[in-house]
Structure 1
Amino acid sequence: MDGEKGRGLKRAGTALIVAGLAVVGLAACDSGESSSKGATTTAKPTLWNPCTEISDDALTAAGVDPASEEKGVAGVSQSGWEICGWDGPTFAVTVYATNKAVDQFKSKPGNVDFRTVTIAGRTGEEFRVEGASKKLDCNVVFPVSQGVVQLQVLNRASLDGLTDPCVSLARVGETLVPTFPR
């Protein structure tokens, strides 16, 4: 991948990821439970990690380069989330895991154009994020036992004549969604 184009995609992707996380709401953190008889905490279950659970073969089949992996947001972990992204020639793919519910995504201002979709036999809620990149990105959230797994496709802003990102997301999802937890 061309270094300058890759950096540009990372910057655009990171901006979109940060905006998406702000829309979803990272502010609420729960450190566990406490009792009145003494401080006790209950460890939260470990979230599914897309960086370790999606194979290089699946990523290559989805059209992204496994070597371009970026964990977190611009390499920084986010509390309550497991985030991993990869670059392809015309788009980037990011997979998020969190303990939030689908309804939290639906009720957040800025998340728009929801519709129910089925990808690789799994039903999820497709949506876009309002703003300058609305026509460049597409997201779908799938309910899982620990919350949701979100799949995002972000087209390169520097290229013309690209496939609708929701069409690309459906194609990418056929390969990646089977790796997601239930």
Structure 2
Amino acid sequence: MMVWLGELGRRRMLVRRRFVVATTVLCGALAMAGCSTTENGNAQPSATTDQAVATAALWDPCTQIPDSTLTNLGLDVASKRSGILGAEEPGWKICGWEDSEFPPNYGVGAYSTIHTIDEVRAKPTNIAFSDVVVAGRSGVQYRQTHNDANEECSLAFPTASGFAQIDLLNISTKSKSMPPCERLKPIAEAIVPLFPK
């Protein structure tokens, strides 16, 4: 009985960590665009028909990043989550994974969107911008004000449709001993070449 309760506690902790990763790593970029509104407490999608068509044409990180690449980077392919807690977001293609340790130490998110780098720069809660070159591709590095410098790092790169992004969130005390941008660098070097031009 005690063993079962201990396992149940570990599973609940993992679910809670996955929720944190999903809502922080995968939702962070979305707040910039105001992807939906509420009316009388009900969510109202803001996507137009044109936006729906553009969304359907976006590069999808869940299908375009090979499992072998993720495994070689130390990510758990079984932890893959598409969209925001399983729900697709108009104007975005989103995928996230956790590292293969139990419990996970960090989460990685990859996105493509119809929104622009200028929108990323204009969002007041995006800070600490610097220009970067990853795998020969120019982009921008930044973080969000609701995460500390030792927690999160985001890298965004312009594309023909908008931009593609990869980010990392340190979710354990152990993982925060390595700066997130340093941890993200080898992951980005492998994944950024797969981003659309």
Identify the match of residue 32 of structure 1 among 28, 42, 50: 50
Measured on the aligned residues, the alpha-carbon RMSD in Å equals 2.2
> Alignment identity in percent?
31
Q: 1:133 to 1:73 in 2, by over 3 A?
A: farther
> Structure 1 residue 181: deviation in Å?
1.3
SS at match of 2:166: strand
1:76 to 87, 90, 96: 87
Q: In structure 2, which of residues 23, 26, 41 is the aligned counterpart of residue 15 of structure 1?
A: 23
TM-superposed deviation, 1:177: 1.0
Conservation of the 8 A alpha-carbon contact between 2:150 and 2:178: no
TM-score normalised by length of structure 2: 0.79
> Match of 2:78, SS?
helix
Relative to structure 2, which stretch is displaced further, 19-28 or 166-175? 19-28
* Secondary structure, counterpart of 1:181 in structure 2: coil
Matches of 1:19 and 1:57 in 2, distance apart? Answer: 27
2:145 to 130, 135, 139: 130
Shift of 1:170: 1.1
Give how far 1:160 is off.
5.5
Deviation at 1:68, TM superposition (A): 1.0
Unaligned runs of 5+ in 1: 34-41
Which structure 2 segments of 5+ residues have no match? Answer: 1-9, 37-45
Kindly tell me: are residues 9 and 79 of structure 1, through their superposed partners in 2, closer, same or farther at Cα, counting changes over 3 Å? same
Residue 128 of structure 2 corresponds to 113
Q: 2:111 is paired with a residue of what secondary structure?
A: strand
Q: How big is the shift at 1:128? A: 0.1
Q: Deviations over 1:49-78 (max 9, x none)?
A: 000000011111222111111000111111
1:1-182 paired onto structure 2 within 5 Å: 3-16=11-24, 17-27=26-36, 29-32=47-50, 43-44=53-54, 46-88=57-99, 89=101, 90-159=105-174, 161-182=176-197
Name the TM-score, length of structure 1 as normaliser.
0.85
Higher strand share: 2
Aligned length: 173
